[in-house]
Amino acid sequence: MVEASIVSFLAKLINIVFLDLILAGDNAIVIGLAARNLPSSTQKKAIFYGTGGAVLLRIAATVIVVWLLNIPWLLLAGGVLLIGIAYKLLADDDEHADVKAGRTFWGAVGTIIMADAAMGLDNVIAIAGAAQQNILLVVLGLLISVPIVVWGSTIFIKLINRFPWIIYLGSAVLAYTASKMITQEKRLQPFFESHSAVRIALIAIVMIGVLAAGYVKKHSNRRKNQKRSSYN
């Protein structure tokens, strides 16, 4: 029993780290943009301070969301919102050129913290859902994944560009987490526990639907961009 609980804990922790790595690629780009105007001698220090502040803010926000998910129907709402985030991960091609670089050390630190907070809602909801009300998992997952994102962001982004299936895998995991959140909503849980076939069907439909819709939208965006570039 003890070994099984340890394996379950580690599996959830790995899931949280993976989700945060997938979702935090954009945040890593923002961190680099925010510190780009600083001298190279202080860039790393600004990134370290900014990331430290962002991690503390992210932990606090996720703990609050974990607590809020105990309120009736909010687990369902969080699951539905996470489905949209899973789709957005595949469909969007975000640009971050409008992120203002900090011209002073503390200006860059503040920009990193505020930009991460503004972009971190998807991470917070995903991690809160994957942690299943376990605060220790939240803290450990963020402490492991955020430094990896900051210091290994270039490598991770290159990996995603080289192996696009990583994004699809991440989107599938998000869709699975979202559908599990919906089935674990306290008001709906008795129904899904007594109708396991419906629960499995819902999870499958959500995962397939998100991947299919995201794939179609991504390729539609790509065709539009190709047409636009051919006209220019």
Higher pLDDT, 178 or 127: 178
60-74, 101-115, 190-204: which has the minimum mean pLDDT? Answer: 101-115
Question: What distance in Å separates the CA atoms of residue 105 and residue 165, rounded to the nearest whole number?
Answer: 38
Question: What distance in Å separates the CA atoms of residue 61 and residue 126, rounded to the nearest whole number?
Answer: 12
Which own/partner contact pairs does 164-168 have at CB distance under 8 Å and 24+ positions apart? Answer: 166/22, 167/22, 167/89, 167/90, 168/90, 168/211, 168/214, 168/215
Question: What distance in Å separates the CA atoms of residue 53 and residue 32, rounded to the nearest whole number?
Answer: 16
Q: What is the pLDDT of residues 17-55, one digit of tens each?
A: 877 777 765 566 566 666 666 776 677 777 777 777 877
Q: What is the pTM assigned to this prediction?
A: 0.70
Q: Is the pLDDT of residue 93 over 60?
A: no
